[in-house]
Structure 1
Amino acid sequence: MSAALQVELDGALSAVLDDMQRSLAELADELATERAALLAADVPAIDAAGARKQGLMQALEQLDAERQQLVSSAPRIAAAQQARWQELLGRLRECRDLNQRNGSIVQQRLGSVRRALAILTGQDSEAGVYGRSGALHASARSHMLAEV
């Protein structure tokens, strides 16, 4: 491989890694915005953050495909950028952890809503029996909660 081609490939890989770094920083910011929206129960902000997060993930996937192509074309250049790649992997793990925390908030809220619905409909979501088919059957009768 000629020196000029190596320099060009190194520059291209460096540019892709720069773009990935910027996208990861934006993703971390978006995850923080999403967390604030979840805690405030701001549905429009949650939807907007989710859409922006999805766009950033698609951009990162495209950048990673470019990175993989460059790495396979020039393994020697990829080795020189290995430390930088490890740094990006660490940032990806941080974003994954932030996303999982946001998912936990969603699961907690969903559980609360399900429990409230079970109370309002008179169904104990924990109670139920198994029928002959092996399917779980919950009590379908409702209870009077109050009398006016």
Structure 2
Amino acid sequence: MDPGQSLLSLIDQEVASLEALHKILLQEHQALLAADVPLIETLTANKNQALDKQSDITRQRQLFTEQHAKTNSPDALQTLIARCGQAAELTERLGSLTALTDQCRDLNRENGSLIQQRQRHTRGALQVLRQTGDTGDTYSGRGKAEAKNLPRTLGKA
């Protein structure tokens, strides 16, 4: 197989891998919004497998680039692509790969933000239950602030 066809195959594998990862990230986003913990756990395992696969395929492409261009850098990859008969197709697919990589990164960051938001909410709820931290004054059934010097026992909440 000529280098251009091999590189095209590697990039196509990366795109397919990222598409699978993107699908998992979308499912994870919905599960986070729904607070579906069992599904989140399953999707986290699936995401980790997809990331491992993606990492392996990316390493293969990087090794291929290094073998054929004597170095692994974005410039070396562009030089290698320019020397191939499928330069236009390779450039297009590499652009798709880059765009999909950006989408996955952004969606993963958004999911991370949702997780942090849920953690803050949970910590806040625990602070209220434990009556610790800077939760502000909470009011009793009598309509006035309770003393903050109560024990930190969750069982009394």
Return 5+ residue gaps in structure 2 as ranges: 70-78, 137-147
Identity within the alignment, %: 31
TM-score, reference length from structure 1: 0.76
Q: Determine the C-alpha separation between the residues in 2 that align with 1:141 and 1:27.
A: 49
Per-residue deviation at 1:124? 2.0
CA-CA distance at 1:87 after TM superposition = 2.5
Q: CA RMSD in A?
A: 2.4
Aligned length in residues: 127
Query: CA offsets per residue over residues 23-47 of structure 1, 9 Å max, x none?
Result: 1111111011001111111111101
Q: Any conservation in 1 of the 2:15–2:97 contact (CA below 8 Å)?
A: yes
Q: Which runs of 5+ in 1 are unaligned?
A: 1-6, 128-139
CA distance, structure 1, for counterparts of residue 106 and residue 97 of structure 2: 14
Tell which deviates more after alignment, 68-77 or 11-20.
68-77
| Equivalent position of 2:109 in the other structure | 100
Deviates more, 1:113-122 or 1:11-20: 11-20
Residue 2 of structure 2 aligns to a residue whose secondary structure is helix
CA shift digits 1:34-89 (9 cap, x unpaired): 01111111111101111111111111111111101111222354333344223211
Aligned equivalent of 1:71: 65
Cα distance in 1 for partners of 2:7, 2:34 equals: 40
Indicate whether 1:33 and 2:27 are aligned.
yes
